[in-house]
Every structure is written in C-alpha cells, then in structure tokens.
Amino acid sequence: MDRAYLASSQTLSAILCVVGVAMVVMTVARGGGPLALGVVVGVLFALLGAARLRLARAMAPDRGA
C-alpha cells in the first residue's frame, strides 16, 4: 500500500510539473510576457510539482539496503 501511495504521489507530482511547463510554453507562444498570468501560474505549478517530487523521493525507502 505504501509503495502504491509513493508511486502515485511521484506520478502526480511529475504531471503537475509538466502541466506547469506546458502552461508557460503555451502562454509565451501566444505572446504573453514574463508577468502574464499563465507564466506566473505555470511557474508556480512547475515549482510545486518539483518540490512534491523531491519530497516524495526523499521519503521513499532505500531499495538497495
């Protein structure tokens, strides 16, 4: 059960990060500036996803031990 939780947490975190990067790319491609809402929210999504992914991997048990 714990492995499934960790795997789903890592997967959702990676998806959140990808969605954030996609938001930034789409906003810039449509002519948005650096302070456009899509860029700001996209950067926040990407940072949140990366932070969650890092925390999820830090809490994962070592498989080599």
Under the banding of pLDDT at 50, 70 and 90, the label for residue 61 is confident
Residue-wise pLDDT tens digits, 33-59? 999 999 999 999 999 999 999 998 888
Q: What pLDDT score was predicted for residue 63?
A: 63
Query: Would you say 45 and 24 are in contact if contact means Cβ atoms under 8 Å apart?
Result: no
Output the furthest CA–CA distance in the chain (Å, rounded).
Answer: 51
Q: What pLDDT score was predicted for residue 12?
A: 94
The secondary structure of the chain, three-state, reads: CHHHHHHHHHHHHHHHHHHHHHHHHHHHHCCCCCCCHHHHHHHHHHHHHHHHHHHHHHHCCCCCC
Please state the pTM of the whole predicted model. Answer: 0.84
